[in-house]
A and B are shown apart, each in its own frame.
Chain A
Amino acid sequence: MPAAVDLLAAVFNLNGRPHYVHSGWFLISVGNLVVIVLMVVVFVLALLLPFPGRRRQ
């Protein structure tokens, strides 16, 4: 399993040259930006998506 895992991890190698979004004094890593954007997207989806299980007793 470890060898297979290493192979998989090599597909998305995050150890390479760092990528950043830089605008004036604002500087954020692409990794962090993705996480923050995902959090906002998930929050909005959680609010908007219909919730199942409206059966009542």
Chain B
Amino acid sequence: MSSVEERPTWTGRLREAGVKALPPERLLPDTQPVFVSSWIYVFGALTIAAFVVVLVSGAVLALGGVGWWHRAATGHFFNSLHLWSTELFFFFMVVHLWGKFFMAAWRGRRALTWITGAVSFLVSIATAFTGYLSQQNFDSQWIGTQAKDGLNASGVGAFFNVLDYGQMIVWHVLLLPLVVGLLIAGHVLLVRRRGVCPPLPARGADSGK
């Protein structure tokens, strides 16, 4: 027997770790705990749904090119879809955030779930910001010339130039959505791994956690 067969491969190690953390029944369960019986629980899914619509409408805008929506009514309609799905994205995300805060959903080793969610919120703001800057209209001019002062004051402006359209458009279309997507994926996988956070103790009872 050769020593190569005994040593686990990187692929094997990754597979084992993945299956251990998220066996199929945990990754894609078709049951949920009985305490999940409130409409507040649908807002995570609604946020992801809005994100999907944002991505798809953004992809169609990309198909037409950056100037398309200024020239063509159909392009303008897809710009509207992109704007309103973004408003819905933040709307649902904030309601989801309020719900999770008041449920203290970070309990039971779920701090990282809260952290990934909170960071997603902040990075989403940055993503929307670069979107506003990429419009190539009065909005972009005003937002850019105003935002530059805050960013310059913090030092960020030396490397992240909001008046440089060439930089803002690629951050908006590629870099930031990728980061948001990865954060959301990590956030959801963490929820799957730990399970939905159970209720705070009923009156009189105390789990101490």
Contact with A along B15-34 (1 / 0, CB 8 A): 00000000000000001001
Minimal beta-carbon separation of A40 from chain B (angstroms)? 9
Taking a contact as CB atoms under 8 Å apart, the answer to whether A47 and B38 are in contact is yes
Q: Which residues of A contact B (CB under 8 A)?
A: 1-3, 5-6, 9, 35, 38-39, 42-43, 45-47, 49, 51, 53-54, 56-57
Q: Contacts A1-B74, A3-B73, A46-B99; is A51 near B91 (CB within 8 Å)?
A: no
Residue ID in chain B nearest A2 by CB atoms: B73
- The interface centre, meaning the residue of B31, B73, B99 with most chain A CB atoms within 10 A of its CB, is B73
Contact of A2 with B38 in the complex, beta carbons under 8 Å? no
Verify A47–B77 contact, CB threshold 8 A: no
**Could you list which residues of chain B lie within 8 angstroms of chain A, going by C-beta atoms?**
31, 34, 37-40, 42-43, 72-74, 76-77, 80, 87, 91, 94-95, 98-99
When the two chains form their complex, are residues B94 and A54 in contact, meaning their CB atoms are under 8 A apart? Answer: no
Is the pair A46, B73 in contact by a Cβ cutoff of 8 Å? no
- With a cutoff of 8 Å between Cβ atoms, the chain B residues found around residue A57 in the complex are 31
Within 8 Å CB of A3, what residues of B? 73
Across the interface, A46 reaches (CB within 8 A) one of B31, B43, B76, B94, namely B43
Is A51 touching B73 in the complex (CB atoms < 8 A)?
Answer: no
Q: How far is the CB of A46 from chain B (nearest CB, A)?
A: 4
Chain B residues lying within 8 Å of A54, measured Cβ to Cβ, are: 37
12 more contacts with CB within 8 A, not counting A2-B72, A35-B87, A39-B94, are: A1-B77, A2-B76, A5-B73, A9-B80, A35-B91, A39-B95, A43-B98, A46-B38, A46-B95, A46-B99, A49-B39, A57-B31
A10 CB, nearest partner CB in chain B, Å: 12
The 8 Å CB contact of B95, one of A1, A42, A53, is A42
Chain A residues near B95: list those with CB within 8 A: 39, 42-43, 46
A49, B42: Cα distance in complex, Å = 13
A-B residue pairs, 4 tightest by C-beta:
A2-B73, A46-B39, A46-B40, A51-B37
Closest to A3 in B: B73
**What are 10 A-B pairs at a CB distance below 8 A?**
A6-B73, A9-B80, A35-B87, A39-B94, A42-B91, A47-B38, A49-B39, A51-B38, A56-B34, A57-B31
